[in-house]
Amino acid sequence: MDQLHTWLMSMAGDAEPWASYAKYLPKLLDGAGLTLQLVVVSGLIGVCLAIPMALMRVAKSPWVWGLPYAYIFFFRGTPLLVQIFLVYYGLSQFEAIRDLGWLWDEVLSQPYWCAIIAFTLNTTAYIAELFRGAIQSVPRGEVEAAQAIGMNRYQQYRHIILPRAFGIILPAYGNEVILMLKGSALASTITLLDLTGMTRNVIARTYMSMEFFLLAGALYLLIAGAIILLFRGLEHLYSAQHRQPRLAAKGLDPQLRDQHLDDPS
Amino acid sequence: MTITRKLAAVLFLSSSVLGLAHADTIRMATEGAYAPFNFMDNAGKPQGFDVDIAKALCAEMKADCEIVTQDWDGIIPGLMAHKYDAIIASMSITPERQKAVSFTDPYYSNVLAYVAPKDEAFPIAKADLEGKTLGAQRATIAGQYLEDHLGDVANIKLYDTQDNAYLDLASGRLDGLLSDKFPAYDWLKTDEGQGFEFKGDDIDIDDKIGIAVRKQDNALRERLNKALSEIVANGTYAEINAKYFPFSIY
């Protein structure tokens, strides 16, 4: 970042407002790095937690689906800002929490981990609900076929239902990651210097709100673009796994192609 | 009929606009969200140091005064739009604002002070602050002061509101915070503030607080200045000061 700063400054010279951009762009990039980190870490933990939660959620017994139902209801039904404040400012009100030793010193007193916890809890609820929908929309016939060849419940989930659900969920999950990217701007309210927090600090100093908010917006757009591309790639890879070798000869008049051979799904 | 009505309306409007500077009802705006300087009491009426000073000035000028409240963001635009004639809302006199409005002589001076737990020795020397976590509100002079003077040694955290900085001080996430001294004095009197106190000397940042008026209303500005020097001379100011702070803030 220091090298980038020196280089930008040499390009900009003393010309206002270019000198300001050169001076503060590396800071904004630092902030973007933290934003990306928050989204990736909470997104990955979120998926891991969401799978068992979704499986519980589709169970028949209310004793099993009751808890995940309440969890999802709460975290989808309250604003992310409220959740962050509850984790960061709320928990710290209690003496008992502050006396937790390591857990307080290294985790709950740190804004970084509070943000990760809040984002993870929030995104888990959304992803679990996506998974529930995906599991329930796996075609009935495929499950019956699995039963017919003698698969037990575990095998059905392992080999048929979950792989299908992953495929169904991917586009919606990409959407959720982008929502999380934008939601992560709220990390700035608990003193984290993510892209938004850094931008607000820079503006408090330079009073160039229009310029730096536009710059921050452009950086968010770049990150969102990268996420979209990543998920396009994933969707492509995933459907390739399930794609059978194309049977149709190339260059044939499409009118003559046999539709069900071209498109095995 | 309608023409005479319109004419009357225009005459009435223009006389009320032009006449403001001379009329003896002076409307003063305050924010009502900066205790103890200006805040709303239980009855929804503005109270505080600013309001008391405004009333004392009006009594001195023998003018009728009306105190109105206005959100901070729109307080200078409202003055320009003749919604009121003066702003007495703990407003710092800054070159940026002086481009838009003119200010009376300062009626108090803002200083910064550190607040930290009573039972902790709080080092003010820069070298001893190494690795400490210090907080302030974002986009304030205190926040900038920390970043400029201690950004390289201490861990600086900036908060959206002063209240959030207090919360983190109380929860032990902050070793200390830097803030405008007088509002912090008010917090130290609350239950949450009991374990904390001011540390070290005040930091004078040459922040003078004045009453803002429209640039063309120089007559009003002069009247306010004259009244201000009189209430300082006759002890009214000291009386109001003592009501809020045991030390002089002039």
- Per-residue pLDDT of A176-191, as tens digits, reads 999 999 999 999 999 9
Tell me the domains of chain A and their CATH numbers: 34-192+224-262 (1.10.3720.10)
Question: Closest approach of chain B CAs to the CA of A3, in angstroms?
Answer: 19
Q: Check whether residue B118 and residue B161 sit in a common domain.
A: yes
B239 Cβ under 8 Å from any chain A Cβ: no
A186-225 residues labelled b (16+ CB within 10 A) or e (exposed): bbbbbbbbbbbbbbbbbbbbeebeebbeebbeebbeebee
Residue B217's CB is within 10 A of a number of other CB atoms, namely: 18
List the single residue in B147, B159, B172 with the smallest CB-CB distance to A98.
Answer: B172
Backbone φ and ψ of A166, nearest 5°: -55, -45
Q: Check whether residue B184 and residue B220 sit in a common domain.
A: no
- What's the CA gap between A147 and A153, in Å, rounded? 8
Say whether pLDDT at A120 is over 90. yes
Long-range contact pairs involving A93-102 (C-beta distance under 8 Å, separation at least 24): A93/B167, A93/B171, A98/B171, A98/B172
B62: domain CATH number is 3.40.190.10
Residue A246's CB is within 10 A of a number of other CB atoms, namely: 11
- What's the CA gap between A68 and A124, in Å, rounded? 10
In a domain, B3, yes or no: no
Identify the domain containing residue B239 by its residue range.
Answer: 23-109+209-244
- What's the CA gap between A135 and A158, in Å, rounded? 12
List the single residue in A93, A109, A201 with the smallest CB-CB distance to B158.
Answer: A201
Rounded to a whole number, what is the distance in angstroms from the first to the last CA of chain A?
49
Identify which of B17, B129, B165, B144 has the alpha carbon closest to the alpha carbon of residue B80.
Answer: B17
Token pair 């260059």: residue: A251
Token pair 């070798």: residue: A245
Q: Check whether residue B58 and residue B44 sit in a common domain.
A: yes
Q: Check whether residue B85 and residue B121 sit in a common domain.
A: no
Say whether pLDDT at A10 is over 90. no
List the single residue in B139, B168, B171 with the smallest CB-CB distance to A204.
Answer: B139
Identify which of B39, B93, B46, B36 has the alpha carbon closest to the alpha carbon of residue B211.
Answer: B93
For residue B240, name the pLDDT band (cuts at 50, 70, 90): very high
Mean pLDDT over A163-174 rounds to 91
Say whether pLDDT at B1 is over 60. no
- What's the CA gap between B49 and B67, in Å, rounded? 13
H-run or E-run covering B197:
strand B196-213
What's the structural domain count of chain B? 2
Using a CB-CB cut-off of 8 Å, the residues of chain B touching A204 are 138-139, 143-144, 158
Do A92 and B164 make contact, defined as CB atoms within 8 angstroms? no
pLDDT at residue B19, rounded to an integer = 44
Q: Check whether residue B40 and residue B119 sit in a common domain.
A: no
Say whether pLDDT at B116 is over 90. yes
DSSP readout, A62-97? HHHHHHHHHHHHHHHHS-HHHHHHIIIIIGGG-HHH
Say whether pLDDT at B227 is over 90. yes
Per-window interface: B 170-199 vs A, CB < 8 A: 171-173
Q: Check whether residue B82 and residue B170 sit in a common domain.
A: no
Q: Check whether residue B166 and residue B55 sit in a common domain.
A: no
In this structure, chain B runs to a length of: 250
- Mutation site, B173, B174, B175, B192, interface A, largest A CB count within 10 A: B173
Share of chain A above pLDDT 90, in %: 67
In a domain, B78, yes or no: yes
pTM of the entire predicted model: 0.76
User: What angle is formed at CA B13 by the lines to CA B9 and CA B16, rounded to 5 degrees?
Assistant: 140
For residue A207, name the pLDDT band (cuts at 50, 70, 90): confident
| Tokens, residue A158 | 């392992």
- What's the CA gap between A166 and A170, in Å, rounded? 6
Mean pLDDT over A79-95 rounds to 94
Mean pLDDT over B94-115 rounds to 92
Using a CB-CB cut-off of 8 Å, the residues of chain A touching B172 are 92, 98, 109
Say whether pLDDT at A264 is over 90. no
Q: Are strands B86-92 and B64-69 parallel, antiparallel or unpaired?
A: unpaired
Query: In which order are the strands placed within the sheet that holds B38-40?
Result: B33-34, B38-40, B46-47
Backbone φ and ψ of B102, nearest 5°: -115, 155
Q: Check whether residue B132 and residue B201 sit in a common domain.
A: yes
Using a CB-CB cut-off of 8 Å, the residues of chain B touching A109 are 171-173
Q: How many CA atoms lie within 13 A of A15 on its CB side?
A: 6
B148 Cβ under 8 Å from any chain A Cβ: no
- What's the CA gap between B206 and B216, in Å, rounded? 26
- Mutation site, B97, B134, B144, B171, interface A, largest A CB count within 10 A: B171
Question: Closest approach of chain B CAs to the CA of A187, in angstroms?
Answer: 11
Q: Check whether residue B117 and residue B202 sit in a common domain.
A: yes
Long-range contact pairs involving A197-200 (C-beta distance under 8 Å, separation at least 24): A197/A31, A198/A27, A198/A28, A198/A30, A198/A31, A199/A28, A199/A31, A200/B138, A200/B139
Q: Check whether residue B101 and residue B170 sit in a common domain.
A: no
pLDDT at residue B217, rounded to an integer = 95
Q: Check whether residue B220 and residue B101 sit in a common domain.
A: yes
Handedness of CA B28, B34, B38, B41 (dihedral sign): positive
Q: Check whether residue B28 and residue B97 sit in a common domain.
A: yes
Choose the weakest-confidence range: B86-100, B116-130, B200-214: B116-130
